[in-house]
A and B are shown apart, each in its own frame.
Chain A
Amino acid sequence: MDSGLICVSLFTSEGVGIWIASILTLAIYSFLYRDNPIYRFSESLLIGISVGFLLVTTFDTTLLPKAFEPVGKGIIGISESGGINSFAIFVWILIPVVLGFLMFTRFVPRYAWMSRVALALYIGFGAGASIPANMQSYILRQIDATIRPFLNIDSFWSLVNALIVLVGLISTLFYFFFSKEQKGAFGKITRLGTFYLMIFFGATFGYTVMARISLLIGRLTFLMKDWLGLIS
């Protein structure tokens, strides 16, 4: 006990889990040396488990409650009442399920074109829904957030900040205007835009690095504390 190295017990469900998680963590970190079979094994394992997880989760949360259970209830409804209404409801429920099954025609080249119908519905939905959503969240709200600070100016520095933001937005937008050659006065504005973009890229980079380092600290803490017991 005084040595400081107290590995977690292998004789409990939790202990086995910690051992497996630790070994897999080290297997993935072995890639830092170079690509090797141990890393490739853990990588393949991760892909398989992730896809299996997604499959089961999607089946449980979408297919079962939204497709198969309603279809089952629809069949029971028809067999019990047999009315035209029950049949109409059943057909309505069946449409997306049939469209879903049409996706499998991709495996039969002769009938693969049928899957396009389901795909077209999906893409049409996405395109139609994204226009007002993008207009609101990506355009109007961003313009609103840029102009609104001018209505709440309470000090010299809040005015300076509001101006910095407004000038930054205009110059960044000018930078992305590629229909005109970026020279002269226009070129100076676009160059200012690149300054803002560089600050943004630097900040995003810094944030990403810190997020990944935080994950690294989390994994090292797990190994040192939960597995080896080196940290109390």
Chain B
Amino acid sequence: MRRSFPILVCFGFGTIMLAQFFIPSKLSTGAYNEITNWVQIIYAFALIVGVVGLIRYHLSRVSRRQGGWFFNLVTVSSLFMMAFLGFVWGRGDHSPFMWVFNNMMAPMQATVFSLLAFFVASAAYRGFVARNIEAFLLLFSAVMIMFGIASIGNSIPPFSDIANWILMNPSMTARRGIFIGVGLGTIAVSLRVILGVERTYLGKE
């Protein structure tokens, strides 16, 4: 019961979702929309479960005064602060919630992502050595794309043309090959899940 019922639910909803695609009718569209709503609600609850787990983890570290507990406290405090601002004053354009988003969250996120520029440059310096044909192609393609889409390279026709040609032909076709592989793999795994062969999502007994 503890394992077989969830497998039955998974099979039932998986089959319904698969079947509704091949039966275009008002009923199937309605069922699709209704189940999509259900899934969104379950996702929202799952998110709250995750947030509760995160708070429990950080608070337990704070209460035990484990190494770096102050940073755990910062995480929990800022989470509660954001939730308080959002639930009390709403999410309007000029609300304190959006002020924190615009002046703290967005700049910090952009900065964290921009940090990667330094690490990627460092990795490229160490790793980009044309030892064989494959490495040469990797290097050539990366340099052409970087130079071709930068302002200076883009203004020089051969570089921008070569970059565009690489993007639209050899790079695109390899991407398509990967996409087809991903698609076939996803379909195989989905079938295994629906038929109850793949059960890892149920966890241990």
Contact A96 B177 (CB under 8 A): no
B contact face: mostly helix, strand, loop, or mixed: helix
Nearest residue, chain A, Cβ from B110: A215
- Complex CA gap A102/B169 in Å reads 50
Within A195-223, which residues are at the interface with B (CB < 8 Å)?
Answer: 195-210, 212-213, 215-216, 218-219, 222
Instruction: Spell out B's residues near A (CB within 8 Å).
Output: 2-3, 5-7, 9-18, 21-22, 35-49, 51-52, 54, 68, 71-72, 74-83, 86-87, 91, 97, 99-105, 107-118, 120-121, 124, 133-135, 137-146, 149-150, 166-184, 186-187, 189-191, 193-194, 201-203
A contact face: mostly helix, strand, loop, or mixed: helix
- Complex CA gap A51/B52 in Å reads 11
A169 proximity list for chain B (CB < 8 A): 173, 176-177, 180
**Contacts known (A125-B39, A210-B149); A202 close to B177, Cβ less than 8 A:** no
Question: A28-B108, A164-B169 are known contacts; what are 11 more A-B pairs with Cβ within 8 Å?
Answer: A17-B103, A53-B97, A100-B41, A121-B39, A172-B174, A197-B174, A198-B138, A199-B166, A199-B170, A208-B116, A216-B117
- Complex CA gap A139/B92 in Å reads 42
Nearest residue, chain A, Cβ from B50: A51
- Complex CA gap A218/B99 in Å reads 19
Contact A193 B48 (CB under 8 A): no
Tell yes or no: A130 within 8 A of B by CB: yes
Tell yes or no: A118 within 8 A of B by CB: yes
Number of residues on chain A facing chain B (CB within 8 A): 110
**Contacts known (A117-B9, A165-B169); A132 close to B21, Cβ less than 8 A:** yes
